[in-house]
Structure 1
């Protein structure tokens, strides 16, 4: 597996310029750029400048994060989503970024949606977004979020949606904490059933040992520092021959207050033991 870095990890005290420099310094292979940080970067830099960096660097772009709340959109919400998505696709094409991560809708009412409703809406939306992305050569990585506040929260459910979409350019993003949040890795074994060519992105992280319902994304930890059985998730990927990104993605406020260089350095050291 290749070592990746997701910009959420230091987003409060860092920038695209800084993340690029530090990820190159500490031997990361890939970076997942955040769309909000990318927009900030483009206020003072050009797409050509960003493209030029990747052309001369070991570090390469991998996936943009993220298009969120894709389910059950109203008309105005959908228009804004498509505008952001199209912007992302245009920049992705220019710099050679192959994937866009798309995330189901979060809301207190999502737990009342039936699986059939989520399935039907997700299949429709993913097809619409994939149609937009196709001319740009961008693929969609659909990421289930383990908490029931999100419309789709299990690997099983997400793969059934992706399988029904049945397109080469639509696959999955698998995230350690999201697998753990779904009943403490209850469907981790389902990874064995997912074809290798449908696993587009893998996010590596750990978390505090807290009860489900209390545990949240702010409780993420460096890989190996918490209670997630990470090897239970990486071993099936290794057996399949997965050799793409294992991307460090942390949303921990404590890490946001640290020097980004320390976080990126420690993150590389902690992640590499599982690759």
Structure 2
């Protein structure tokens, strides 16, 4: 596997230029750029600046993050989502970024939707987004979020959705903490059922040993500093032949307050153990 970095890891104290600089310095292979950070970057830089960086660097773009709350949108919400999505598609096509991460909806107003409703809506929405993305050569990586507040929260549920869609340009994100948040990886063997060509993106992280219901994304740790069975997960992925990026994605406030260079350096050291 290749070493990847997701910009959420340092986003409160960093920016695109800083992340690019230190990811290149510490030997990362790929970066997952955040759409909000890209918009800030483009206020003072151009797409050509970004293209030129990637042309002359080892570091390459991998997956834009992220289009969120894709389910059960109002017309206004959908129009806003599409504006951001098309922006991402245009950037991706110009810098050679192959994937866009898309995330199900969170909120009290949708948490009572049953699985069949989520299944139908997700198929409809992902097909629409994939049709928009296709001319840009962009693929969609659908990421189930393990907390019950999100309408799609298990790898099994997400795989049933994307396998029914059955398109080469719609696949999955496997995220360690989201896998753990659903059932503490009790169904880890389910990973073996997912075809390799449907695993587009892998997010690597760890977390504190807290009860489900208390555990949240703010409790993420560097790989190896928590209780997630990362070795078992990565061993299964390796056995399947997955050799794309393992992207470090952390949302820990403690890390946000650290110097970005320190987080990126430590993250590289901690993640390489599993590659």
Same fold (TM over 0.5): yes
TM-score band w.r.t. shorter chain: over 0.9
Q: TM-score, normalised by structure 2?
A: 0.99
Partners of 1:5 and 1:31 within 8 A in 2: yes
SS in 2 for 1:111: coil
Partners of 1:109 and 1:149 within 8 A in 2: no
Deviations 1:56-83 (A, max 9, x none): 1000000000000000000000000000
Q: TM-score, normalised by structure 1?
A: 0.99
Mapped to 1, the partners of 2:189 and 2:153 lie a distance apart of 15
Are residues 1:140 and 2:140 paired? Answer: yes
Which residue number corresponds to residue 40 of structure 2? 40
Mapped to 2, the partners of 1:173 and 1:217 lie a distance apart of 16
Which residue number corresponds to residue 195 of structure 2? 195
Q: CA RMSD in A?
A: 0.6
Which residue number corresponds to residue 69 of structure 2? 69
What are the equivalent positions in structure 2 for 1:254-265 lying under 5 Å apart? 254-265=254-265
Which residue number corresponds to residue 178 of structure 2? 178
SS in 1 for 2:151: coil
Which residue number corresponds to residue 19 of structure 1? 19
Runs of at least 4 residues of structure 1 off by over 6 A?
Answer: none
Q: Where does the alignment leave 5 or more consecutive residues of structure 2 unmatched?
A: none
Task: Give the C-alpha shift of residue 217 in structure 1.
Answer: 0.1
Are residues 1:272 and 2:272 paired? Answer: yes
Q: Where does the alignment leave 5 or more consecutive residues of structure 1 unmatched?
A: none
Mapped to 2, the partners of 1:187 and 1:113 lie a distance apart of 23
Mapped to 2, the partners of 1:58 and 1:241 lie a distance apart of 23
Are residues 1:165 and 2:165 paired? Answer: yes
Instruction: Kindly tell me the number of residue pairs found equivalent between the two proteins.
Output: 275
Task: Give the C-alpha shift of residue 189 in structure 1.
Answer: 1.2
SS in 1 for 2:246: strand
SS in 2 for 1:182: helix
What are the equivalent positions in structure 2 for 1:119-158 lying under 5 Å apart? 119-158=119-158
Task: Give the C-alpha shift of residue 110 in structure 1.
Answer: 3.4
Which residue number corresponds to residue 245 of structure 1? 245
Of 105-114 and 2-11, deviating more is: 105-114
